[in-house]
Structure 1
Amino acid sequence: MRTATVRTWCWLHKWTSLVCTLFLLMLCLTGLPLIFHDEIDAAFDDRQPLPAAPANARTLPLDAYVRTATAMYPGERPLFMSFDDDRPVANVTTAKVAQPGRGNLHITAIDRRTARPVGALDEDAGIMAVIRRLHIDMFAGLPGKLFLGAMGLLFCVSIVSGIVVYAPFMRKLAFGEIRNQRSRRVRWLDRHNLLGIATAMWVGVVGLTGVVNTLSETLTAIWRADQLAALTKPYQGQPALPIAAWGSIEGAMRTARRAAPSTEPQFIAFPGTRFSSEYHYAVWLKGATPATRQLLTPALVDARNGELTAIRGMPWYMLALRLSQPLHFGDYGALPMKVLWALLDLVAIVILGSGVYLWLSHRRAAT
């Protein structure tokens, strides 16, 4: 590789790294506790214990949970219904409008056996919620997400340029050699290069999945304009369906399960929300096995008569979003994979910190 080309790649690596380093350090520091968010949430779980019930107690129809939630908050309408994996609880989200802002909705946990509320959920409460918001959008909403996505792209460029310049830099050195007889700056340079090249694959995966995650709202909007619009084309031009005309949500769930018998419900979006249309219950179904539980399939059920309108798998960009979310935090391999992710996260912090040190020491030497 020619000297001029090497210098260009070195310049690209230096400045793309410096521009995004501060934000990458913030993401690495906040990402460390988020890797263990399930374990931390379980350790500080303050949910009310469910009342005792017979072992053979059956769950009630879904419509009963909707009635409970709307009775607790008069004037509000249901938006979503999700289901706990570890206990017989349905979480019903309600608000005064179909697409409320953050903080203008209520999430009620309801015992599926008795249709009685067992607590209200506040996704913005607690230190983990603060850390999560800081990591996702820096409390700036969509602009914050897109900004962090841009920083992630710069980080990916710095990774590629670092790999390119590594080979000519190490031409006269053995792989992984640390020149302990040289100055402290040279020793840190060798450590920085070794750790960077050894973890390049991992930081690349985490960086790319992070960029994809920042596009979640954008990709959902594309899905609505593309896939959802095509599925609901016969309904276009019709007036919005009033809430009084909605049929049974339990019937909609059964219709969707019959259309995809090897799946389980992930959540239900009510008419008018961003994951449904103005005329449908959208029953989002997930695979029943660990290998397919991230693959969601929306089934659109006419809210008036409970008939199936369409069922279609997610397009590639929504599939990429679903698969990137657990991979970003190491959620695929239970605790051992999370520990590995945490160790690599610490290494990434060392790489970023050493990069800043090398730049500052070079500036002092030049001065």
Structure 2
Amino acid sequence: MKASTIRRWSAVHTWSSLVCTLFLLMLALTGLPLIFHHEIDHLLGDAPQLRDLPAGTPSLELQALVRAAEAHRPGEVLQYLGWDDDEPHAVLAITAARADTEPNASHTFMLDGCTGEVLPMPSANGGPMLFILRLHVDLFAGLPGKLLLAAMGVLFAVALVSGTVLYAPFMRRLAFGTVRETKPRTRWLDLHNLIGIVTLTWALVVGITGVFSACADLLIDAWRNDTLAALVAPYRDLPPPSRHAPADRLPAIAGEAAPGMRPDFIAFPGTRFSSGHHYTVFMKGGTPLTSHLWTPVLIDARDLAVTAVGQRPWYMDVLSMSQPLHFGDYGGMPMKVLWALLDVLTLVVLGSGLYLWWVRRAARRAA
């Protein structure tokens, strides 16, 4: 590679890294506890505890759970009901002042599916873990904060690619894994390059999935304006129904419309994952991969007739798979530990990169 080409790639790597490094340090630090958020919730006592019930205790009808959720938050409407894979009788409920209230202004709690008992979820509505999550997701700035972090993710990918290009001619002079002990700067340069190339694939995966997750609002809006709008087009000029049919049979109806799948959550009429005329039951598969891929079944809220089974656009599939992959939620505790180790190594790469830039800058100023 020519010297002029190396200088250009070096400039790309330096400035793309410098612009995004402080943001990436924040993301790596906040991402570490988020990998273990379930375990931290249990440790802090914020995880709801379902009471032990005799085997075979029947579940309540779904409409009874709807009434229990609405009674718990008087004056609010139920937006979503979902099932927790980790707790067999747990039903998650989200309520808000209006059906179309944005997520950060809603309230989340758990219902015991057998008794209707309400179990608070403090970490979903406040506390340190929610603070860390909001900081990691949008810097408490909503969509502008998400888009800023998405841009930092793109710069991170540029820095990784340019660093890989520079690594090839650099390593022609050294055996792989060599860490020279001549000077502190040389030692940190070798460690920076070695750890960077070892964690390259993981860093690219986490960076790219982070970009998609940061663009989730835009992707959901595109889905609403394209796929969902086409499915509910016949209802566009009709007034929303004044009364909704009971929700009891929704899982069974959706199961008949999407055989081989099971319900993940129900979006109630008026929410951003549904329309003013429909219940939307989001069905999922039974494998680790397909359990993150949703198929929406639209059910008329007046008479519970299935009006459409939606097809997933590619970008919603990518979004659905990106979010759990970003936090290492696919492989249980071993994958979480691996993700945490790689996160710490990334912190070393970022810190050593700042150190190397500062030492080099100081040397140039001295010269």
Q: Kindly, what percent of the aligned residue pairs are identical?
A: 51
Q: Is this contact kept in 2: 1:107–1:122, CA < 8 A?
A: no
1:64 and 1:150 map into 2 onto residues whose CA distance is 45
> What is the letter of the counterpart of residue 127 of structure 2?
G
Q: Is this contact kept in 1: 2:25–2:347, CA < 8 A?
A: yes
Q: Is this contact kept in 1: 2:48–2:121, CA < 8 A?
A: no
The 1:327–1:50 alpha-carbon spacing in structure 2 relative to 1, beyond 3 Å, is closer
Q: Secondary structure at the match of 1:267?
A: strand
**45-54 vs 156-165, greater mean Cα deviation:** 45-54
Q: Is this contact kept in 2: 1:124–1:130, CA < 8 A?
A: no
2:162 and 2:268 map into 1 onto residues whose CA distance is 47
Give the C-alpha shift of residue 49 in structure 1: 4.2
The 1:166–1:104 alpha-carbon spacing in structure 2 relative to 1, beyond 3 Å, is closer
The 1:346–1:120 alpha-carbon spacing in structure 2 relative to 1, beyond 3 Å, is closer
Q: Secondary structure at the match of 1:250?
A: coil
* Counterpart residue number, 2:39: 39
Q: Is this contact kept in 1: 2:46–2:122, CA < 8 A?
A: no
Give the C-alpha shift of residue 178 in structure 1: 2.1
1:74 and 1:249 map into 2 onto residues whose CA distance is 19
* Counterpart residue number, 2:257: 259
Q: Is this contact kept in 1: 2:48–2:119, CA < 8 A?
A: yes
Q: After superposition, what is the alpha-carbon deviation per residue over 1:134-176, rounded to whole angstroms, capped at 9, x for unaligned?
A: 1111111111111111001000000000111111222322223
Q: Secondary structure at the match of 1:56?
A: coil
Residue 168, structure 1, aligned to residue 169, structure 2: yes
- Pairing 1:284-323 to 2, within 5 Å after superposition: 284-323=282-321
The 1:366–1:90 alpha-carbon spacing in structure 2 relative to 1, beyond 3 Å, is same
Q: After superposition, what is the alpha-carbon deviation per residue over 1:69-102, rounded to whole angstroms, capped at 9, x for unaligned?
A: 2223333221111122214122222222122245
> What is the letter of the counterpart of residue 94 of structure 2?
T
Q: Is this contact kept in 2: 1:109–1:121, CA < 8 A?
A: no
Q: Is this contact kept in 2: 1:106–1:120, CA < 8 A?
A: no
Q: Secondary structure at the match of 1:91?
A: strand
> What is the letter of the counterpart of residue 154 of structure 1?
L
* Counterpart residue number, 2:67: 67
1:327 and 1:50 map into 2 onto residues whose CA distance is 28
1:47 and 1:4 map into 2 onto residues whose CA distance is 57
* Counterpart residue number, 1:25: 25
1:231 and 1:27 map into 2 onto residues whose CA distance is 38
Please provide the CA RMSD for this pair. Answer: 1.8
Give the C-alpha shift of residue 121 in structure 1: 5.2
1:192 and 1:260 map into 2 onto residues whose CA distance is 50
Q: Is this contact kept in 1: 2:266–2:280, CA < 8 A?
A: yes
Q: Is this contact kept in 2: 1:286–1:292, CA < 8 A?
A: yes
2:358 and 2:248 map into 1 onto residues whose CA distance is 63
1:52 and 1:166 map into 2 onto residues whose CA distance is 57
* Counterpart residue number, 1:219: 219
2:276 and 2:95 map into 1 onto residues whose CA distance is 16
- Pairing 1:1-367 to 2, within 5 Å after superposition: 1-47=1-47, 49-51=49-51, 53-85=53-85, 86-101=87-102, 104-119=105-120, 123-180=124-181, 182-242=182-242, 245-367=243-365
1:146 and 1:256 map into 2 onto residues whose CA distance is 35
Q: Which runs of 5+ in 2 are unaligned?
A: none
**252-261 vs 303-312, greater mean Cα deviation:** 252-261
2:77 and 2:158 map into 1 onto residues whose CA distance is 46
Q: Secondary structure at the match of 1:179?
A: coil
1:138 and 1:332 map into 2 onto residues whose CA distance is 26
**302-311 vs 94-103, greater mean Cα deviation:** 94-103
Give the C-alpha shift of residue 52 in structure 1: 5.2
Q: After superposition, what is the alpha-carbon deviation per residue over 1:309-337, rounded to whole angstroms, capped at 9, x for unaligned?
A: 11124211010011111111111111111
Q: Is this contact kept in 2: 1:247–1:306, CA < 8 A?
A: yes
Q: After superposition, what is the alpha-carbon deviation per residue over 1:155-200, rounded to whole angstroms, capped at 9, x for unaligned?
A: 00000001111112223222232222x3221121111111111211
Q: After superposition, what is the alpha-carbon deviation per residue over 1:36-56, rounded to whole angstroms, capped at 9, x for unaligned?
A: 112222333445544454422
2:48 and 2:323 map into 1 onto residues whose CA distance is 29
2:76 and 2:223 map into 1 onto residues whose CA distance is 27
Q: Secondary structure at the match of 1:171?
A: helix
1:70 and 1:289 map into 2 onto residues whose CA distance is 33
Q: After superposition, what is the alpha-carbon deviation per residue over 1:278-327, rounded to whole angstroms, capped at 9, x for unaligned?
A: 11100011112334211111100011110101112421101001111111
Q: Secondary structure at the match of 1:332?
A: coil
1:215 and 1:298 map into 2 onto residues whose CA distance is 21
User: How many residues are paired up?
Assistant: 364
Q: Is this contact kept in 2: 1:297–1:311, CA < 8 A?
A: yes
Q: Secondary structure at the match of 2:295?
A: strand
Give the C-alpha shift of residue 111 in structure 1: 2.1
Q: Secondary structure at the match of 2:152?
A: helix
The 1:50–1:198 alpha-carbon spacing in structure 2 relative to 1, beyond 3 Å, is closer
> What is the letter of the counterpart of residue 16 of structure 2?
T
